[in-house]
Structure formats: structure tokens, C-alpha cells
């Protein structure tokens, strides 16, 4: 999610919590022009909370809000973190040559880092020349105008495995990723996100379908952080991955961890109850909460509320939904 979008959400929240502060709502079309205003609103909100100006929840929250003061403060802290502009850096420190019976190719190790001291996590993936070539071809089809100034390293008939050519391509691919990521519409596109995450997700779901839950979980935990960074503007897109983690943790008899990731997924769906994962996730969370001795009545109420509003339909279990992901 863009810095401006997070700040807009924060302004709306602060309007309900602090009647003395007034912020203007920024439409998506004005986000580039109104960026300074969004930054100012974040700072004002920060000062208000630091000065203890957040009033008692009964007096300051709107009639439609059920948040307590503590919950509101915690929510604001999370939103404040999102106000920081997220940027990713790409490094290609090494390569390896892969030889099969009829093929030989170079795998480029890509390290993806998030800027800022608040997050030191990194993601590591590997891609070959043909993967980059396919990405470039797909981006040219959809973003021809934006890609006009982007150059792609040409394929050579000989010398592909010499140290000189490999080093040149390492630098070229690093610059290529940096440049296309700097283009807003491209870095948000499904084609770019798929390039960075889909091969690992396909492998993970293949392991899940084969009952290899430990291996699937290992891959999913590696990729989910990168996926979240890449899809901040679309919080629903990471829900299937979080739910797959829940399935793996549950089948590995780690109910506490399964519940933790289930809460993350459910928080992204609380205003999107029509999502296909919502009810299966809710049912799984009720089972986990009961097993862990946690409050499951509130979850049960949400489930009953949904059933009262919807006509009875066939609902898959969470595991059934998970195994259907990335089926060719």
C-alpha cells in the first residue's frame, strides 16, 4: 500500500478519535500531488498521540466504532509504520551453473532487501536468464510505453558461461530489477509479483498436496514476507498463503502457530467477508481456539451472523481450498 493510502486511513481514524484535528481526504487520483499533505497529517497525528490528546474512547470514538482507546493506539502505531515508504533493493551476489542431461544454464541468486532499520529481513530467490526474458516479454506486452527506456541484456550464441558474460549479466539484471521496480505500475503488477514469488509458491503448494507439510511450510514462511512487501496495496492477495501456512501448522500439530497465522489472515478479511477463504478460515479458527482454550464464542458469533445473511452454499474446508491453489 502506498504511503499516501496508509496516511489517508490514519486521518480517517484520527478524525473519530480526536475531534480537534481536521484532515482532508485524498483521493487515489491525487496521491502524487498531495503527498506533502499526507506526510504532514502523519506528523500531526503522531504529535497528538504523543501529547496524550487521545480522549476516552466513549467520548471520542464514533458511534460506529467499537475500538477501545488502547486498541486505537495500537492500530495507529501499526498504521504509522505503514506510512514509511517501503522500498526494495535487489542484489545479485552470486551465480551457479546447473547441468542436466540435455541442458545447461546459469542460476542467478537474487537477494531482496527492504530499506529502513525497522525491517532487516531479506528474501533470497534464484532465477535463470529465460525467467528474466519471459518477464521482460510479458512486461513489454502490458507496459510498452513505460518500458521504452528499459534495456534487456541480449542473448548470445556463445560464451554464455564465461565469467565475463556472467558478471556482466549479474550487473545488468540488478539494474534491470531496480529500474522496473521504480516504475509504480510495474512493481504493483501481477506479472512482476509472480516473477518474484510464483515459482516458490508453486513448489510449496505441490509439497502441500503431496503431504510434505514440513517442506511446504519452510517455503511458505520464506516467501510470505516478500509477498507481503510486494502486495501492500492489496492485503487480500496474501490471504491464501497465510491460510496455507495455517493448514501446514495444523497438520503438523502446531495449533498455537496455526492460530497466530490464522489471526493475520482473518484481520485482512474482517471487512471482506465475501472472500472465499473467510468462512473456511473462520471454521478452522473456531476449532483451533477451542483446542487452545481461547475464546471461540466471538468467532462462532461471526460465523452464525454470516450464515444468517447468506443462503446456504457449498463451502470448501480450508485445506480443500489450499490444495486447489496453483493447480495447472
Task: Evaluate if residue 8 carries a pLDDT over 70.
Answer: no
Task: Evaluate if residue 265 carries a pLDDT over 80.
Answer: yes
Among the listed ranges 9-18, 247-256, 285-294, 302-311, which one has the minimum average pLDDT value?
A: 9-18
Q: What is the pLDDT of residues 294-316, one digit of tens each?
A: 999 999 998 898 888 776 666 79
CB atoms within 10 A of CB 305: 11
Among the listed ranges 158-162, 185-189, 242-246, which one has the minimum average pLDDT value?
A: 158-162
| Spatial distance between the Cα atoms of 107 and 326, rounded to a whole number of angstroms | 23
Instruction: Give residue 7's pLDDT.
Output: 46
Q: What is the pLDDT of residues 74-118, one digit of tens each?
A: 665 555 544 445 689 999 999 999 998 888 999 999 999 987 655
**172 contacts: CB under 8 Å, gap ≥ 6:** 152, 153
Backbone angles phi, psi at 244, to 5 degrees: -65, -35
pLDDT band, very low/low/confident/very high, at 24 (cuts 50, 70, 90): very low
Structural domains in the chain? 84-188 (3.30.1520.10), 196-327 (1.25.40.10)
Q: What is the pLDDT of residues 207-248, one digit of tens each?
A: 999 999 999 999 999 999 999 989 887 888 999 999 999 999
Residues 208, 323: contact at Cβ < 8 Å? yes
Question: 57: closest CA among 72, 45, 74?
Answer: 72
Q: Which cell numbers in the block locate residue 198? A: 510464483
Residues 282, 266: contact at Cβ < 8 Å? yes
Q: Greater confidence, 181 or 3?
A: 181
Locate cell 514509511: which residue? 84
Q: Greater confidence, 274 or 33?
A: 274
**295 contacts: CB under 8 Å, gap ≥ 6:** 289
Average pLDDT over residues 198-212: 97
Instruction: Give residue 116's pLDDT.
Output: 66
pLDDT band, very low/low/confident/very high, at 47 (cuts 50, 70, 90): very low
* Chain mean position to CA 60: 32
Instruction: Give residue 154's pLDDT.
Output: 86
Query: Does the reported pTM lie above 0.75?
Result: no
What does pLDDT average to over the chain? 80
CA-to-CA separations, 5 to 84, 113, 176, in angstroms, rounded: 11, 23, 27
Residues 183, 116: contact at Cβ < 8 Å? no
Residues 183, 146: contact at Cβ < 8 Å? yes
Indicate the burial class of 224 (C-beta count within 10 angstroms; 0-12, 13-18, 19 or more).
Answer: buried
CB atoms within 10 A of CB 275: 16
Instruction: Give residue 238's pLDDT.
Output: 95
Amino acid at each position: 500500500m502506498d504511503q499516501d493510502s496508509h496516511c489517508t486511513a490514519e486521518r480517517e481514524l484520527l478524525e473519530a478519535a480526536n475531534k480537534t484535528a481536521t484532515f482532508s481526504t485524498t483521493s487515489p487520483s491525487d496521491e502524487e500531488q498531495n503527498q506533502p499533505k499526507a506526510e504532514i497529517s502523519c506528523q500531526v497525528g503522531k504529535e497528538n498521540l504523543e501529547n496524550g490528546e487521545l480522549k476516552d474512547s466513549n467520548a471520542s470514538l464514533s458511534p460506529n466504532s467499537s475500538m477501545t482507546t488502547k486498541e486505537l493506539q495500537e492500530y495507529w502505531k501499526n498504521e504509522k509504520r505503514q506510512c514509511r515508504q517501503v522500498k526494495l533493493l535487489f542484489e545479485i551476489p552470486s551465480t551457479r551453473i546447473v547441468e542436466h542431461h540435455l541442458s545447461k544454464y546459469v542460476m542467478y541468486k537474487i537477494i531482496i532487501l527492504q530499506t529502513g532499520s525497522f525491517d532487516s529481513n531479506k528474501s533470497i530467490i534464484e532465477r535463470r536468464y529465460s525467467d528474466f526474458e519471459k518477464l521482460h516479454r510479458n512486461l513489454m506486452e502490458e507496459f510498452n510505453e513505460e518500458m521504452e527506456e528499459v534495456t534487456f541484456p541480449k542473448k548470445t550464441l556463445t560464451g554464455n558461461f564465461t565469467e565475463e558474460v556472467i558478471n556482466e549479466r549479474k550487473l545488468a539484471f540488478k539494474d534491470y530489477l531496480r529500474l522496473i521496480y521504480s516504475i509504480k505500475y510495474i512493481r504493483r503488477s501481477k506479472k512482476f509479483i509472480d516473477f518474484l514469488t510464483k515459482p516458490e509458491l508453486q513448489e510449496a503448494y505441490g509439497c502441500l498436496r503431496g503431504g510434505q507439510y514440513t517442506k511446504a511450510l519452510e517455503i511458505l514462511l520464506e516467501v510470505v514476507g516478500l509477498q507481503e512487501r510486494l502486495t501492500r496495496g492489496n492485503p487480500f492477495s496474501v490471504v491464501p498463503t497465510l491460510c496455507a501456512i495455517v493448514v501446514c501448522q495444523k497438520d503438523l500439530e502446531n495449533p498455537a502457530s496455526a492460530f497466530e497465522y490464522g489471526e493475520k489472515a482473518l484481520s485482512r478479511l474482517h471487512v471482506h467477508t465475501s472472500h472465499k477463504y473467510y468462512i473456511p478460515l473462520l471454521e478452522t479458527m473456531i476449532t483451533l481456539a477451542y483446542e487452545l482454550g481461547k475464546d471461540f464464542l466471538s468467532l462462532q458469533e461471526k460465523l452464525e451472523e454470516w450464515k444468517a445473511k447468506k443462503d446456504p452454499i457449498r463451502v470448501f474446508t480450508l485445506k480443500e481450498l489450499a490444495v486447489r491453489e496453483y493447480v495447472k
